[in-house]
Each structure stands twice: as C-alpha cells, then as structure tokens.
Structure 1
C-alpha cells in the first residue's frame, strides 16, 4: 500500500502546486489593494502608500511576474506567505485561524458523518415505515433551511433558554477560554454544522443501503443461513460504505473553508471567515494562503479516501 500511496501523493502534490500558482496570478491580477484607499483624495501620501505596498510585495503597479518570483522565493525558502495590506503576517493569521476551524469543523463533521451514516443505514432497513417517513420529512426540512437560518434559530433558542434558566448556560459568541468555556461556546455551532451533515449523509447512506440490500450477494448470504443482521452489517453495510468513504474524506476537507456562515454567525474567527474577509479586503497573499490551505486539506482528504476505500473494499488492489 505504501508505494501506491506515494504515487497518489505525488500526483496530488503536483495538482496542489498548480492550483496555488494559478490562485496567485488570479489574485494578483484581480485584487487591487489600492481599493482600500480613497483614490480621489489628493492629500494622501501616495508615494508612501506605493512604497508600503511594494515592501509588502502587493503593489499592483509592479510587474506581476516580479511579484510572483519574490513571493515564490519567500514561500520556498522561508515558508513566508507574505503580508496583508495592513502589514500583518499571513503565516500568523493562518496558524491562529486554522486551529479555530479544526476545533469547530472536526467535531461537527465527525458527529454529522457518524450519526448520519447510522441513521441512513437504519432507515433503509425500515423502508416506508413510520420512522422512515418521519426522518425523511425532518431531513427535507433541514435541507430546505439555510445554514444561517438554523444558526440564528439556535441563537434565539439559547437566549430564551438562558432567560428561563436564569444564567448563561448557553454561550454563542466567540470561542471562550478554558475547557468548560470552550465547550459551552462550541455547543451551538457544532449543532448547527452537525444537523446539515446528519441530514445529508443519512439520505446518501439510505439510498446506497437500499441498493445493496436487494443485491444478489446479500440474498445468497441469507440463503446460506446467515442471520439478517449479520448479512446487513457484513455485506450490505460494508459495500454501501465504499462510496461514502470517498465522500467523507472530501467533504471533511472542503468544510474547513466552507463553514464561513457558521463562523460568522457565532463569531468564530476561523479559515472560513478568513476566506471571505481576505477577498473583500483585497488581501492577495491571504487569498492565496486560503487556497493553498484548502488544497492541502483536499490532498489530505484524497489520501484518506484512498486509504478508506482500500480498507473497506477488498477488491481494490494496492501494491
């Protein structure tokens, strides 16, 4: 398996480099940091502004190829991703926000994947029952409700619950400090992210399970005397998890920068929020760093997908 993973890793690494380089040229040509200033104001020290932007390597008046060479040299030699238009270190911002997103996204994704898969597999075995129909309706309601609306409803519910309980039992602004404080602040955004994941994964898993439950190899296993529960878990469930393994890995990777709405509503300063603010503030280096981070997460997700498929599916040959 190791040589196989190394080949896959090399392919993904090449794609990551290409995506990051393209992102740099796109950001460097389309984002103009001069937009942060009043171009009609003649009283501004434009010479000083240009000199500052040049020192940050984000002056749009400088040739883009020259800027790319300086940026690429800094990344390759010092792992320096540059500065924002305000002079902040992009490395420091990403390092801080990355772990904020890890705490939020990992837990929410894990709960959504685990509960959603189990729920979908269970409802498939209860097809057209009352429980199956009720869960289907609830999932459709979650599908039809924007994430922002779900988050706002949770905040309103927390406010009313705190008023009824006479204390700040539920916290929903910021990240908190200490284990208990962070757990309180993490509860509502985790629920917000988990609900969508549960609804999504349960529908996928239900449909995949329905396809495998009627397969010939499952009926054959039952005909040979295998109990229904064993036939479902050993054959139907394992087979239906093969495409879900790929979906899990890539979904977890993209959620790191896809949780911008949840992070904004609950004031979590993670990578999702930074992906939006870096573009809106003409932050060239920050935008490229977000793309590179997202690409790295996708690379990790792709490798996880390859490993999961190889473990679940014995037909996959890796050598």
Structure 2
C-alpha cells in the first residue's frame, strides 16, 4: 500500500509541476501586462515601463521561452519568499500565497468536510427511501442547488441575512470581510471570525452536499441490488447491518474518486465567494491577476490550486486503498 501511495504521489507531483509551468507559458503568451501602464492617467516613459516589466520578468519584448527559463531559474535559486518572482504590485508572490492561503483554506476545509458528510448521508437516505417524499424533496433541492452558481446563492443569503439583521435591530450575522477590524484578540476575535465564516461556509456546504448526494444516491442504488447484500441478508444479517457494513462501504469506493473532482470544483466556486464576501483569499488574488494580466500572480495561484488538488487526490487514494482491499494487495 505504501509503494502504491508513493507512486501516486510522484505522479501528482509531476502533474503539479507541469500544470504550473504550462500556466506560466500560457499567461506569458496571452497576457499583456504593459496595458496597466499604458492606460495610466499620467503618461509613463516607455523606458521606465520596460524597466519595471524587466524587473518582474513580464516584458513582452522579451521572448516567451527566455522569460520562462529565467522564471524556472529564479524558482530554484532564489530564497523561498522570492520564488515565483514579484507581482505587478511589487509584492513577492510566495509571500502573498502564505498570507492568503489560510484565508481560503478556512472556507474550503469546512465546506468540504461538512458538505461531504451531509451529502453522503443524504445520498444513502435517498437510495434507501427511493421515490418517497423525503427522497423527492432531497432530489429536487439538490438539482436546484447544482444548477445555481455559487455567487448567486451567496448573494441571496446576503439579502436574507440583511433582512434578518434589520428585523432584529442588530447585526446577528456579519458577512463583509473575513473579520471585523478593531476586535480584541482572544476569544472575541475567534468568535468574530467564525461569525464572518457562516454565510460563505453555508454556500460551500450546500453546493458540495448537493453534488455528493446525487452521486452517492446513484451508487447506493446499484449496491442495493447486488448479490452480496442479498447473501448477507440470507445469512441472517439485519437490513441496517447489511446496508451499513457492506452496502455503504462498497458505495464509498467510487465516492473516494469523486472526492478529488468535487474538491477541484469547490476551489473554483470559492473564488467567486471570496469576491462577493470581500475575503482576501487566493480566489480573489487569482481573479485580480487575470484582470491586470499579472503573469507571476496567476502562476502562483495555479500552483496553489494544483497543490491543494494534489493533497485532495492523495486523500482520495488513501480512502480508496482503505476501503478496497484489492488495492492494498
């Protein structure tokens, strides 16, 4: 099992490097960072613009392959805080990743963990109670949530929360930013951060649970008609024992593969939530990088996303090996 996981880890690391490199080449080929200075209210001499772009390795007058080689060299030779070079704001990209990664991971981990547990539970419930009222309600709600963009759901919750706060006469739930400036450290600051996490976390949980429930219900329906369930019942196992010990475990095997895909989708959805909820996370950083054609910032964002998906894929492989003895053998 250890050799299997190490082999998969090496494969994912290679894919991460390739994805980051291709992101840099693609961004260098199509982005035009010079536009930021050409549209300035005060004209900037071309020589000054060239000097600025040369310092951050984004000068479009330099061939793409030459810029790529310089970028690769910098990644392996510069200190960690200078790796991936500076962005157009003059900040080291690696330093920005360190500041913003924790903000994004707060949302992602809560949304993934709670959403997965809730979605799997609803999927099993729907399969066991197929075509009954509870199954129909969960199915319709899941389809509505899946077809609704995350930012639309976030805006709707913001409207409802504003109405609730106005009705109560005080701000029960805060949703602008990741925290309230000026709150003292300790327990008040922790409670304040948790308060700001409520709405975006609810959006990610609902979005994640909807996808998991539909997939789990489909897989569980196939498992319920399997021969090993009937054999377990014939040997005297109760219905609940057969479903939990045999049915759910087998159904979770393909769900472990779906986990890595769903996590990648959730990363994309959280980027828009960070914009509408004013969270200074990686999603906001990546969207701003695209808007100003910042090659280094976008490359760092892609690298962060690739690493996160790498860890989710490795967790998926571990779950797969734990659930399926054939993989361990």
Please indicate the TM-score interval, normalised by the length of the shorter structure. Answer: over 0.9
Which residue is equivalent to 2:55? 55
Correspondence for 1:228 among 239, 245, 249? 239
Which residue is equivalent to 1:151? 154
Cα RMSD over matched residues?
1.8
Correspondence for 1:305 among 304, 307, 316? 316
Distance, in Å, in 2 between the alignment partners of 1:107 and 1:113 is 10
SS of residue in 2 equivalent to 1:316: helix
SS of residue in 2 equivalent to 1:161: helix
Higher deviation after alignment, 246-255 or 59-68: 246-255
How far 1:5 sits from its partner (Å)?
Answer: 1.6
Which residue is equivalent to 2:219? 208
1:183 partnered with 2:183: no
Query: Residues 161 and 59 of structure 1: is their aligned pair in 2 closer, same or farther, counting only changes over 3 Å?
Result: same
Aligned residues, how many? 318
Aligned residues of 1:75 and 1:81 also touching (Cα < 8 A): yes
SS of residue in 1 equivalent to 2:142: helix
How far 1:256 sits from its partner (Å)?
Answer: 3.1
Aligned residues of 1:58 and 1:85 also touching (Cα < 8 A): no
How far 1:108 sits from its partner (Å)?
Answer: 1.2
Aligned residues of 2:208 and 2:266 also touching (Cα < 8 A): no
Aligned residues of 2:37 and 2:49 also touching (Cα < 8 A): no
Correspondence for 1:276 among 272, 287, 295? 287
SS of residue in 1 equivalent to 2:326: coil
Query: Residues 257 and 129 of structure 1: is their aligned pair in 2 closer, same or farther, counting only changes over 3 Å?
Result: closer
Distance, in Å, in 1 between the alignment partners of 2:287 and 2:115 is 24
Which residue is equivalent to 1:4? 4
SS of residue in 2 equivalent to 1:85: coil
Distance, in Å, in 2 between the alignment partners of 1:289 and 1:220 is 53
| Structure 1 segments unaligned to the other structure (5+ residues) | none
Distance, in Å, in 1 between the alignment partners of 2:240 and 2:96 is 50
Distance, in Å, in 2 between the alignment partners of 1:45 and 1:197 is 50
Which residue is equivalent to 2:183? none
Query: Residues 132 and 43 of structure 1: is their aligned pair in 2 closer, same or farther, counting only changes over 3 Å?
Result: closer
Correspondence for 2:133 among 124, 130, 143? 130
How far 1:69 sits from its partner (Å)?
Answer: 2.3
After superposition, the C-alpha distances for 1:124-146 in whole angstroms (9 at most, x for unaligned) are 11111111112212222222322
TM value normalised by structure 2: 0.92
SS of residue in 2 equivalent to 1:171: coil
Distance, in Å, in 2 between the alignment partners of 1:65 and 1:290 is 21
How far 1:90 sits from its partner (Å)?
Answer: 0.8
Distance, in Å, in 2 between the alignment partners of 1:174 and 1:49 is 34
Higher deviation after alignment, 137-146 or 147-156: 137-146
Correspondence for 2:97 among 94, 98, 101? 94
How far 1:43 sits from its partner (Å)?
Answer: 4.1
1:142 partnered with 2:148: no
| Structure 2 segments unaligned to the other structure (5+ residues) | 181-188
Query: Residues 30 and 206 of structure 1: is their aligned pair in 2 closer, same or farther, counting only changes over 3 Å?
Result: same
TM value normalised by structure 1: 0.94
Which residue is equivalent to 1:76? 76
